[in-house]
Amino acid sequence: MGSQSRKMTQRMILLLALLIMGVTGTVEAQDKVTIGLVEDVVLMPWKIRLPARIDTGAAVSSLDARGLKVIDQEVEFALPSKYGGRKFRLPIADWHTVRSAEAKERRPIIEIELCIGPKLVRARVNLNDRTRMKYPFLLGRNILTENFVVDCDRTYCAPPKCLEEKSQ
């Protein structure tokens, strides 16, 4: 009888563990924030607000970097003057090769913290001169996958709220 009782206890623990894992998965899905095709993001901790184009076809997010210079294991660049023109010198976290119809290009990747809607997200973004692009930031799947659901019929539906929370 002791053996059957032990087996029953093990089965109950397994069932309870599976139930908890299932509930956790549901909660995570509900934690995703709905965003539109264009949203404002804030580069933290600098509190620089930029419009971002949401692109589910882009594997990696991309930031407009003007005057890009690689110096050893760091990269120097400036944001467009329209967004303050702030200059940065940040460590290179990795390199990313982007293939297009015209060419293959190697871009430096940096790690930054972003505020998107109510979420504060640490992410890797590649740096690229996006002068000819309408938006200075491209939000790709590396950020979208675990955090957001995209509603293609909407824009600017999740304003950054991290600044409000930090100031309280």
Contacts of 80 (CB under 8 A, 6+ apart): 64, 66, 131, 136
Encode pLDDT of 65-108 as tens digits: 999 999 999 999 999 999 999 999 999 999 999 887 788 999 99
My answer on whether 93 and 129 are in the same domain is: yes
My answer on whether 5 and 51 are in the same domain is: no
Contacts of 121 (CB under 8 A, 6+ apart): 113, 114, 115, 143, 147
Q: Alpha-carbon distance 36 to 154, whole Å?
A: 5
My answer on whether 137 and 151 are in the same domain is: yes
My answer on whether 53 and 118 are in the same domain is: yes
pLDDT at 17: 54
My answer on whether 70 and 110 are in the same domain is: yes
Phi-psi region of 156 (alpha: psi -120 to 50; beta: other; left: phi over 0): left
In angstroms, the first-to-last Cα distance of the chain is 59
pLDDT at 57: 93
Position with higher pLDDT, 92 vs 20: 92
My answer on whether 60 and 17 are in the same domain is: no
My answer on whether 92 and 161 are in the same domain is: yes
My answer on whether 59 and 13 are in the same domain is: no
Q: Alpha-carbon distance 90 to 10, whole Å?
A: 52
* Total tally of structural domains belonging to the chain: 2
Domain, as residue range, for 8: 1-31
* pTM (2 d.p.): 0.79
Encode pLDDT of 130-168 as tens digits: 999 999 999 999 999 989 999 999 999 999 998 765 544
pLDDT at 100: 76
My answer on whether 116 and 43 are in the same domain is: yes
Pairing status of strand 119-128 against strand 61-64: parallel
pLDDT at 103: 84
My answer on whether 18 and 54 are in the same domain is: no
